[in-house]
Amino acid sequence: MTTLPDPRVRAALADGFGRVAQDLRVSVTDRCNLRCTYCMPAEGLPWMPKPEMLTDDELVRLVRVFVELGVTKVRLTGGEPLLRRSIVDVVRRIAALEPRPQIAMTTNGVGLARVAADLAEAGLDRVNVSLDTIDEQVFRDLTRRDRLADVEGGMTAAAAAGLTPVKVNAVAMRGINDEGVADVLGWCLDRGYGLRFIEQMPLDAQHGWERAQMVTAEELIARLSERFELRARPETARGSAPAELYDVVGYEDLEGQQATVGIIASVTRPFCGDCDRTRLTADGQVRNCLFSRTETDLRGPMRDGASDDDLAALITGEMRVKRRGHGIGDPDFEQPDRPMSAIGG
């Protein structure tokens, strides 16, 4: 059981609008073994040189400082986090922190079967697997890789290892996989996985995102309702979670509870007012928002001998300048220079 820090300490991560960050997203690498069309070009991207990446000691130290400032949840992301060879040990070291944060991971699932049991033993609490389609050909076209069977095997291994509830993140794209969204939901319901659809956001390396091509939350709900009876949960049940939850009437999850499907409408129904997240990139930059155009360097000061108090001051300073919202709908909105693979989900 996680023991929460004193509320006076947690207020250190407050921004100018009264939001308090308790959820830290940590990108452990910018590398990925898929080449999803909406994320990066077929040839990949110029990967971060290893000397620029945080070492294990540096990464764990920074996570500890965040935890001491009030973070209670840590999510390990990438790129693809399983490509960091030391990932099991990183999980074990974060799990040893006091107070112990909840630890989750977002992965594409390709290598999950190999390490699911080790991750669970090390202290990982649960996983989210990114899976946009269950159609083999569409999967190959989207990811430019023939690895759907590996992803399915990874999810099975995660459930067997107790990394539950296993959650699935899916992005619906017009003319690509939007016709199959109900199939993905049915597939997840049959296996007891929790599914969340995410509106496509302007975070691609090619900067080719167009709002008109995005499948909206309203469209997703309409398509799913053609096959399933959905019942919206009260808004008050959502809290700071990004997903609007809908009960799927007549279905239960693996624990015998009411099965749900979530819709994360980051673009059409932004939830910035309830945001409790902050982010740490693989090269040691803290970002107060996924769409931030600026970031604060922690790696440089740390390597120059900064104390924990010095690092904490840099982190809290970054949080204080967090904007009211991501501004996707604003006329002057600019997409971040870093693509999603270099920020972390």
pLDDT in the model for residue 297: 97
pLDDT tens digits, 138-153: 999 999 999 999 999 9
Q: Please tell me whether 289 is known to bind a ligand.
A: yes
Q: Please tell me whether 73 is known to bind a ligand.
A: no
Torsion on CA atoms 129, 132, 136, 137, rounded to nearest 10: -150
Please compute, for residue 124, the number of CA atoms within 13 A of its CA located in the half-sphere on the CB side. Answer: 32
pLDDT in the model for residue 258: 92
pLDDT below 50 — which residues of the chain? 1-10, 204
**Count of other CB atoms within 10 angstroms of residue 208:** 10
Q: Please tell me whether 167 is known to bind a ligand.
A: yes
Q: Please tell me whether 162 is known to bind a ligand.
A: no
pLDDT in the model for residue 325: 67
Local structure of 266: helix, strand or coil: coil
Q: Please tell me whether 130 is known to bind a ligand.
A: yes
Write the CB contacts of 78 (distance below 8 Å, at least 6 apart in sequence). Answer: 27, 28, 29, 30, 31, 32, 84, 106, 107, 282, 341, 344, 345
pLDDT in the model for residue 54: 98
pLDDT in the model for residue 143: 95
Q: Please tell me whether 238 is known to bind a ligand.
A: no
DSSP secondary structure, 107-163, as one string: E-STTHHHHHHHHHHHT--EEEEE---S-HHHHHHHHSS--HHHHHHHHHHHHHTT-
Q: Please tell me whether 277 is known to bind a ligand.
A: yes
pLDDT tens digits, 196-225: 998 886 554 555 556 667 789 999 999 999
pLDDT in the model for residue 41: 81
pLDDT in the model for residue 331: 53
Q: Please tell me whether 105 is known to bind a ligand.
A: no
Q: Please tell me whether 225 is known to bind a ligand.
A: no
Q: Please tell me whether 188 is known to bind a ligand.
A: no
Q: Please tell me whether 147 is known to bind a ligand.
A: no
**Count of other CB atoms within 10 angstroms of residue 316:** 17
- Round to the nearest angstrom and report the end-to-end CA distance of the chain: 25
Q: Please tell me whether 281 is known to bind a ligand.
A: no
